[in-house]
Structure 1
Amino acid sequence: MAAGLAEGADTSCPWGRVDWSAPWLAPWRAVGEPLAQQVQRGLPVSQALGGPHAAAAPVGFAPQAELPEGMAYEQFIFEARRVPTRDNLHDFFNGLVWRQFPQTKRRLNQLQAEAIARDGVGAVRGPLRDAITVFDENGAVLAAPPALWTALAARQWQRLFVELRPLWREARLVLFGHALLEKLASPRKSIVAHVYPAPAAMNSIADLDAWLAGDVQPAAWAAKPFAPLPVLGVPGWWPANEAPGFYDDAGVFRPPRAQALP
């Protein structure tokens, strides 16, 4: 279960709100916590992310001012291989995902850039760009027994989290979206991830990255093949979900949408 913030942490500072002992940050802590400490000491986020251990990332990190006026953010990254970065948690976590999931981030950026080159930048994104943006900002990957996936897809929350609770010991949920990671700096029950299914045999983040980058296919992703998951309902992720009635909150654990009549 999530531990408290470190003793003496400055919660008035956005970096001080990040609880690196939280279960959802377990895959990110070894890389992310030392970088966050550098930023807390005054180093710009772009410099911290682009430090000596960033060789695996297929991009560099630049101050936001390097983005030319009128140029699409995704297009600039694809062409310049540099990510415009502000000094905030949102962009810090984005850079952290680039470092941990370099192949997947590069694939998503490639598809965004190709869509921009083909269709231009309009007031409304097309289905593929919209889906990529949803996952890039708020996505997660879940490797789980089939019974859990069936319950999740059907939004059978009591079955998913109560009846099948022991099966969660066989599941692994890895957060991907940088906005999702940012939101969890101030955890609240209503935070929902857009979850994509992964095979069980993922032994490391590197394995997961290689698989996910190869699995992103435009036609399938344009249909948004994601399932909504209130992440603080995951067993072991939040002490409150041990309490009776936690999953009865229909404002968070919403029932399936009614099917339209033919």
Structure 2
Amino acid sequence: MWEREAGPRIADDDAAATAGSAAAHEAAVKVARGMAPEPLPSRFAAIDWSKPWFAQFAARGQRWQQAALTGYADLLAAMNIDAAQMQQTTGRGQRLAFIAQDDLPPGAPYEGHIASSGCVPTRHNLHDFFNGSMWFAFPRIKAALNARQSAELELLGVGPMRGGVRDMLTLFDENALLFACADPSLSIALRGFDWQTLFVTRRDAWGRGCEVRCFGHALLEKLIAPFKGCTGHAWIVDVPPDYFERDPAARDAWLDEAVSAALLDTDVLTSRMFAPLPVLGIPGWWRENESTAFYDDTSVFRTGRRKR
């Protein structure tokens, strides 16, 4: 699972064409590219805001969900109303706004366009819905990612090879979990694939010595239909002991500032800075993990295959 691609792919033309007629294939491509609304019942209706990975931004998300179910233009309007009120900026200080995917100028790089114009090309799908949500849940982190990604684009240009830094930034953007931890022994357990310590013997430490926030929008999209092997890339954030005495909004603000500063200040960014974390193993996030036997599945809770 650790080697899997972070984000979902659009099926290639040959595979999609076998599923039906040419007309059906064309319609599916339009949906995937955000040029047409998803067929009803829409996947937007499948978001369960009671799930812990969605609950962190449920208040805004429920409003956007209703707008998305109404139509593409309604979703963009709802997102832009919130953007105007928040006065959020992108990686180079441009005022945040959301535009239709088709409004991205031909040949313009996605991250570069966001940095220079402030406008985030957005499709009418769950992937971009959750991407937009993160601009409000963790605005500084999103701006820092955009600043670094656009700088890498200027340095290396657009080509077939993204480069190690852009790969890492994309992995963070698509599949990251923020593992806030005040107890170094728990971070050591996570990095060492010591699932018994992390999830069983130290289970009572969750919520008091460590916790997780979902960040990656592709990961959130996958969690619409959660499966046991769903794994995020955990970015470990050392937090002070009094972090867990703060309310959730204050914790998110602390994480937003600390992680964004790290992304901007760290010279060397590589995928080795992450640790794999099976999402449904997090205590309190999945009923089945209340049984210790849940963690005996070595196809999910694997031992490490590389030295750290």
Give the match for residue 220 of structure 2.
181
What residue number does 1:210 align with? Answer: 257
- Give the secondary-structure state (helix, strand or coil) at the position aligned to 1:39: helix
* Structure 2 residue 181 is matched with structure 1 residue 134: no
Aligned length in residues: 250
Asked if residue 231 in structure 1 is aligned to residue 279 in structure 2, the reply is: yes
- Aligned Cα RMSD in Å? 1.9
Q: Is the 8 A contact 1:66 1:84 kept in 2?
A: yes
Identical positions, percent: 40
Secondary structure of residue in 1 paired with 2:81: coil
Which residue matches 1:31? Answer: 60
2:290 alignment counterpart: 242
SS at match of 2:166: helix
User: Match of 1:187, SS?
Assistant: coil
Rounded Cα–Cα distance in structure 1 between residues aligned with 2:223 and 2:301? 18
Q: 1:165 aligns with which of 188, 198, 203?
A: 203
When the two structures are superposed, what TM-score results if normalisation uses the length of structure 2?
0.76
Gaps of 5+ in 2: 1-39, 90-95, 244-249
Q: Which runs of 4+ in 1 moved over 6 A?
A: none
Q: Report which stretch shifted further, 41-50 or 114-123.
A: 41-50
Q: State the Cα distance separating 1:132 from its structure 2 match.
A: 0.4
1:46-95 Cα deviation digits (max 9, x unpaired): 22211246533321000001111212111111111100000000000000
Question: Which residue of the partner structure matches residue 195 of structure 1?
Answer: 234
Is the 2:45–2:65 Cα contact (8 Å) retained in structure 1? no
Q: Is the CA contact 1:101–1:206 (under 8 Å) kept in the aligned structure 2?
A: yes
- 1:225-258 residue CA offsets vs partner (Å, 9 max, x unmatched): 1111001100000001112421111211111115
Q: Which amino acid aligns with 1:46?
A: L
The question of 1:50 aligning with 2:41 is answered no
Structure 2 CA distance for partners of 1:166 and 1:21, relative to 1, 3 Å: same
Q: CA deviation at 1:175?
A: 0.7
Aligned to 2:300: 252
Letter in 1 for 2:201: E
More helix, by proportion: 2
Give the distance between the partners of 1:16 and 1:223, measured in 2 at CA.
34
Q: 2: distance between equivalents of 1:254 and 1:35? A: 37
User: Greater shift after overlay, 242-251 or 154-163?
Assistant: 242-251
**1:83-94 equivalent positions in 2, closer than 5 A:** 83-94=120-131
SS at match of 1:95: helix
Query: What is the rounded CA distance, in whole Å, between the counterparts of 2:194 and 2:55 in structure 1?
Result: 27
Q: For residues 286 and 85 of structure 2, what CA distance do their matches in structure 1 show?
A: 34
3-state DSSP of counterpart to 1:50:
helix
Task: Give, in whole Å, the separation in 1 of the partners of 2:102 and 2:145.
Answer: 23
TM-score, structure 1 normalization: 0.89
1:146 maps to a residue whose letter is P
Name structure 1 gaps, 5 residues minimum.
Answer: 1-10
Are the equivalent residues in 2 in contact too, given 1:61–1:85 (CA < 8 A)? yes
> CA offset at residue 221 of structure 1?
2.1
Q: CA deviation at 1:178?
A: 0.6
Q: Secondary structure at the match of 1:152?
A: helix
CA contact (8 A) 2:189 2:197 kept: yes
- Tell whether the 8 Å contact from 1:54 to 1:99 is kept in structure 2 after alignment: no
